[in-house]
Amino acid sequence: MDFTREYAIGMDAGNDLSYREEFYIKEDGIYLDGNSLGLLSKRAEKSLLDLLDSWKHHGIDGWTEGDNPWFYLSEKLGKEMAPIVGANPEEVIVSGSTTVNLHQLVSTFYKPAGKRTKILADELNFPSDIYALQSQVKLKGYDPEEHLVQVRSADGHTLREEDIVGAMTDEIALIVLPGVLYRSGQVLDMEHLTAEAHKRGIEIGFDLCHSVGSIPHSLSDWDVDFAFWCNYKHLNGGPGSTGGLFVNKRHFGQVPGLAGWFSSRKDKQFDMEHVLTAAEDAGAYQIGTPNIFSMAPIIGSLSMFNEAGMERIREKSLKLTGYMIELIQHELDGHGLILRNPLDEKKRGGHIYLEHPEAARICKALKAEGVIPDFRAPNGIRLAPVALYNTFEEVWKTVQILKGIMEEEKYKQFENKRGVVA
């Protein structure tokens, strides 16, 4: 392995996947927080301005007129997003937010009966998912302490699929797991876990927030029951961007757990009847009026993903993270930084996760030198070299900057305490 800057520059010269010029990037900075909030692209900016323009020129008629009529936008974006998650077009809808969509799906699929009264999750999942699952268990009249089962991690960073399968007992009514763990970046074998769940008569869904736009999926072929995700991380949909969800077509026809006006079949919605005629596809899982301007940037962003294709994005992502791991192992040995990612490419998502007791300070020191990382309490540093806009040279520079921070103990000038938003 060549650890010189020239090698990194050569890797960039040989790269045939670069949308860097499409994004707004600070010339004097290195943005490595795309796994938390992706950067603004020029296409996303244009699609947002275009929808503002449709409001300006059409007023209320913007619901049915213009290049992207608002009334059909959730369905249109669902069709365009389907290839990214490996789904049939009618199985995906852009709607709600991660946690709202999780509530919707669990309200629909969690049907405790007889011995099957428990939800199976894991102890490493993002807190919002656990809060939602706890509340759903309570709504059914059960105690989350007993009826929300969380698979334990053997090392505190990763999950073993055999432990998850072992927890699929005849008391489990529903399983909800992450596709990629938000800290360690571990990719779970969603196909295998789905097959094992179905062997036992259990329905299973996945949180794809840290995998969508980062790794390829085949939700339909894997026969996953449902999935949900945000669109503001790897998919660059903007802060608070509208989320997405998938429902396997095997489940079409049932009434959504949380029905609302936009759950309606399109041709019936304005009949104003007090009996819901639910949409016959994933559109049934919408609830309220879509947030048009929170959806608008996704139009532009998706066009890049569908041009590039997830296989090519994944290939470059693995090269970037693999390169960063090798540099970290070579340059930062002895500085107390512990790499917590799986080294196996099949198990590694799109970000690097380091631990250090002074992580909050180190993140502040990185920011002071122009590198934007992501701190995760209590001692985690996430670095995400994104395939569409980060470079190998930026990865090389970041590791050199981090090496200087550690060698010169520059982090000691900062308080070891997270900011309000970490």
- Report the C-alpha gap between 363 and 382 in whole angstroms: 9
| 398 annotated ligand-binding residue | no
Tell me the per-residue pLDDT of 18-59, one tens digit each, with 9 for 90 and over. 899 999 999 899 999 999 999 999 999 999 999 999 999 999
pLDDT at 384 (0 to 100) = 98
Residue whose entry in the numeric block shows the structure tokens 């005849």 = 170
Res. 420: pLDDT tops 80:
no
CB atoms < 10 A from the CB of 259, how many?
18
| 391 annotated ligand-binding residue | no
- Report the C-alpha gap between 130 and 140 in whole angstroms: 16
Contact residues for 309 (Cβ-Cβ < 8 A; gap 6+): none
Tell me the per-residue pLDDT of 269-299, one tens digit each, with 9 for 90 and over. 999 999 999 999 999 999 999 999 999 999 9
Tell me the per-residue pLDDT of 356-396, one tens digit each, with 9 for 90 and over. 999 999 999 999 999 999 999 999 999 999 999 999 999 99
Q: Is 94 helix (H, G, I), strand (E, B) or coil?
A: strand
- Report the C-alpha gap between 258 and 284 in whole angstroms: 10
| 19 annotated ligand-binding residue | no
| pTM of the predicted structure, to 2 decimals | 0.97
Contact residues for 199 (Cβ-Cβ < 8 A; gap 6+): none
| 61 annotated ligand-binding residue | no
Contact residues for 238 (Cβ-Cβ < 8 A; gap 6+): 40, 44, 48, 232, 294, 297
| 385 annotated ligand-binding residue | no
CB atoms < 10 A from the CB of 357, how many?
11
The residues with which 204 forms a beta bridge, in sequence order, are: 175
| 127 annotated ligand-binding residue | yes
Hey, what are 278's tokens?
């639910």
The residues with which 348 forms a beta bridge, in sequence order, are: 186
Dihedral sign, Cα of residue 190, residue 195, residue 197, residue 201: positive
| 98 annotated ligand-binding residue | yes
Res. 422: pLDDT tops 80:
no
| 290 annotated ligand-binding residue | no
Tell me the per-residue pLDDT of 238-272, one tens digit each, with 9 for 90 and over. 999 999 999 999 999 998 999 999 999 999 999 99
CA distances from 321 to 252, 349, 417 (A): 39, 9, 27
- Report the C-alpha gap between 34 and 383 in whole angstroms: 8
- The β-bridge relationship of strands 338-339 and 203-207 is unpaired
Domains of the chain plus CATH, in order, are 5-31+309-413 (3.90.1150.10), 46-307 (3.40.640.10)
Tell me the per-residue pLDDT of 92-132, one tens digit each, with 9 for 90 and over. 999 999 999 999 999 999 999 999 999 999 999 999 999 99
